[in-house]
Amino acid sequence: MSLVSIRDVRKSFGSNEVLKGVSLDIAKGDVVAIIGRSGSGKSTLLRCINGLETYQSGSIVADGIEVAGANTNLRELRRHVGMVFQQFNLFPHLTAAENVMLAPTVVNKVSKAEARATAAEVLAKVGLSEKMDAYPSELSGGQQQRVAIARSLAMRPKVLLCDEITSALDPELVNEVLRVVEQLAREGMTLILVTHEMRFARDVGTKLVFMHHGKVHEEGVPKEVFAAPRTPELQQFVGQVS
């Protein structure tokens, strides 16, 4: 049974149809790499999965919850579906540990002590044990993004959505973030990543999705798809980025 099931989803902004019938099945433990040109609808698709955007038709079921259902509790859904953004979005008035502790204390009502223990654990996982009490402004971009990942992990999500999480980083900081994601993948975390890191998509991904003009244009096992892209659009895209 799939953990996230997307069926014929259509989404428009005004008269601009951005998702034109997208279907995808994502099983537990999958690492899905979504690639495609800018404007092809990748971010919009991710944002529909955790309810940051609404869609006009079709259905998305994540961890058994229908995202756009009339009685859907988005809060419940988002406890199981985490998201990491291109721009980190750390809360600047809170330290790294406080950033991580906020949702567990506010949403799950766990004690400060317990939340701090969780923060210590997830920050260690992303290699930032010594930065617990640093403010975002004192951290490099790569460190900030790793805190953002830890912040999502603290809610123990079943799926983690990552939208171009290395695109805002200086090139020398990209790898430290990718290593963290790779480790999560090895531990069995279900990941849906929009990425421009083609090598990472090929080596770490279990599934590749190429989006083009609001549709899944081609999908398959990354190594096979990259070795022999079937459509001219993907051939051209792969040729351009690599």
Partner 1 sequence: MSYKLQFAELLPYWNVLLYGLVFTIVLTIVSTVVGIAVGTAGAAARTFGPGWLGRIVAVYVELIRNTPFIVQLFFIFFGLPALGLKLSETTAAFLAMVINLGAYSTEIIRAGIEAVPKGHIEAGLSLAMSKWEVLRHIVLNQAFRKIYPALSSQIIIVMLGSAVVSQISAEDLTYAANYVASRNFRNFEVYLLVALAYLLLAMLTRSLLRALGRVIFKAR
Query: Which residues form the interface with ligand ADP (CB under 6 A)?
Result: 13, 18, 36, 38-44
Question: What is the Cα–Cα distance from 166 to 177, expressed in whole angstroms?
Answer: 7
Q: Is 109 in the site for partner 1 (CB under 8 A)?
A: no
Among 3, 22, 83, 153, the residue binding partner 1 under the rule CB under 8 A is 83
Residue 33 structure tokens? 């790499």
Return the number of the residue (30 or 163) whose C-beta is nearest Mg ion. 163
User: Site map for partner 1, 32-51, x if CB under 8 A?
Assistant: ------------------x-
Residue/partner pairs of 174-182 with CB below 8 Å, 24 or more apart:
174/142, 176/127, 176/142, 176/146, 177/142, 177/145, 177/146, 177/149, 178/204, 180/125, 180/126, 180/127, 180/146, 180/149, 181/149
For Cα atoms 90, 96, 100, give the angle at the middle one, nearest 5 degrees.
Answer: 80
* Interface segment toward partner 1; rule CB under 8 A; list 120-128, 150-158, 189-197, 217-225: 150-158
Tokens of 222: 């990354």
The smaller minimum CB distance to Mg ion, of residues 35 and 103, is found at 35
Q: Residue 106 or residue 124: which is nearer to partner 1 going by CB?
A: 106
Q: Interface with partner 1 includes 87 (CB under 8 A)?
A: yes
> Which C-beta is closer to Mg ion: that of 44 or that of 99?
44
Confirm or reject binding of residue 110 to partner 1 (CB under 8 A). Answer: no
- Residue 242 is which amino acid? S
> Can you tell me whether residue 19 is helix, strand or coil?
strand
Q: Which residues bind Mg ion (CB under 5 A)?
A: 43
